[in-house]
Amino acid sequence: MLIPALNEEQALPRVLADLPWPMLHEVVVVDNGSSDRTVERALAGGARVVHASRRGYGAACLEGIRAIGDTDILVFLDGDYSDAPDELPRLLEPIIEDRADLVIGSRELGQREQGAVPPHARFGNWLATGLIARFYGARYTDLGPFRAIRWSSLLGLGMADEDFGWTVEMQIRAAQAGLRHTEVPVSYRKRIGVSKISGNLKGSLQAGWKILYTLAREALRRDRPRSSLGDPVAVSIIVPTLDEEKHLGALLECLQQNTPPFEILVVDGGSGDGTVALAESFPGVRVLRSQAGRARQLNAGAARANGEILWFVHADSRPPYQALRELRRALIDDEVLGGAFRFRLPGEHRGFRIVETGVRVRSEWFGYPYGDQGLFVRRETFHSLGGFPMIPFLEDLHFVRRLRGAGKLSVVPTALETSARRWEQQGALRTSIKNSATFLLDLLGLDPQLTARLYRPSKVR
């Protein structure tokens, strides 16, 4: 739980005392520059205290998120005791039951103490939620601060506002990203002390202006998640693993250099090395467990993904810098349903350049990229095609064949580097011949089980 606080020494002890602590992993109070005993009260109440270097509600929230680093669900609650902390289970239930990614505690749907929400604040809520419905198609009744969100979903939103626009920015970007959202009724009472926003005319005008400004700013960027995907859109990066401790760390470091919003899901198939521990050591990376099998692992990751775009990346790959920028640019055209990157092998071996040329012909001339080229696809398209077929081999080729039948594919001209271990171990010529032979046999209708045994008789997964 994250509680931004500024001079809340009277209210904060009551907030902390009413929390259902057994449900919480940690409570972080972000002090926004208090001149009273807020910090002392927070520590006495069992919270961890983080100090925000900049004043502002959003700035405090961002500082708290950085300090928390990783969790499953993050709850935001004000420190003024206007909300009822013991109603937390209401907010968590829809997320725990996997019915929602974002839950807003609505004061409009719940019971309000008379005078707790001034008329001008209620009007502002009504106007802002109406505009969100009009421009983004998302129905809300409130911009209430008491809210819960899935951690991976939050990271994918790329939150940035440092002031009064924090709550409305979150709700707009959740709508843009296609997050499942809902509202639950919460109680609301007069706060202890004077509100920094609605308690005076200046604060109310500043907050109102910032909310309208945020609405306008996000409206100008409406191309992000819909028809023009060149601007940042939420991408779910899905990495299947099985004993990939040697390669995974470098991939995750590379992926985290991309421009948000995105999420990373590592789907492990039962590794016996340190793959899972390594993945869990990276902030913001979600680790899922699945039965072994690449198709099964990829589908498991897609089922839990929140992004509008799914990007499937092998653990031994090295994407280009800011790969998501190129991926998003490829999807600006609404007719493009998915695609892949160009193929590259590391090293100066002359045979590798020949292999790359052959792959380029297959993927760009004939339209058949493989999974080691970083396949990406719109989430709704992926699910409409039934995901990857549950076969032991060439699941990527079979999926690409379906995808080609549904619409256009794009091969990004930037290269994604993949490990050369197969080519080095078995030889560039031999590996290329095997790949070409299995491709042709599959096109001729040979059973994938038999193709798998012919390709890798010692290990099929």
Both tokens assigned to 145: 């601060």
Co-location of 179 and 248 in the same domain: no
* Phi and psi based region of residue 237 (left: phi greater than 0; alpha: psi -120 to 50; beta: remaining): beta
pLDDT tens-digit map of 216-273: 777 665 444 333 333 456 899 999 999 999 999 999 988 987 777 899 999 999 999 9
pLDDT tens-digit map of 334-379: 889 999 999 988 877 778 888 888 888 988 888 889 889 999 999 9
| Distances 287 to 236, 242, 292, 377 between C-alpha atoms, Å | 13, 13, 14, 21
Co-location of 285 and 206 in the same domain: no
Out of 187, 220, 253, pick the residue that ends a domain.
220
Give the whole-angstrom CA distance, residue 301 versus residue 377: 13
Out of 178, 196, 220, pick the residue that ends a domain.
220
Co-location of 204 and 285 in the same domain: no
Is 227 within the bounds of a domain? no
How many domains does the structure of the chain reveal? 2
Is 333 within the bounds of a domain? yes
Co-location of 6 and 48 in the same domain: yes
Co-location of 186 and 248 in the same domain: no
Is 456 within the bounds of a domain? no
Co-location of 105 and 43 in the same domain: yes
pLDDT of 284 reads 85
Co-location of 18 and 145 in the same domain: yes
Q: Which of 121-125, 147-151, 208-212, 328-332 has the highest mean pLDDT?
A: 147-151
Strand (E) or helix (H) holding 244: none
Is 27 within the bounds of a domain? yes
Is 431 within the bounds of a domain? no
SS3 38: helix
Co-location of 244 and 201 in the same domain: no
Taken in order 422, 424, 426, 431, the sign of the CA dihedral is: positive
Co-location of 375 and 255 in the same domain: yes
pLDDT of 204 reads 54
Is 439 within the bounds of a domain? no
Range of the domain at 409: 235-417
CATH code, domain carrying 281: 3.90.550.10
pLDDT of 176 reads 81
Is 442 within the bounds of a domain? no
Co-location of 179 and 298 in the same domain: no
Out of 220, 251, 268, pick the residue that ends a domain.
220
Co-location of 54 and 192 in the same domain: yes
pLDDT of 209 reads 72
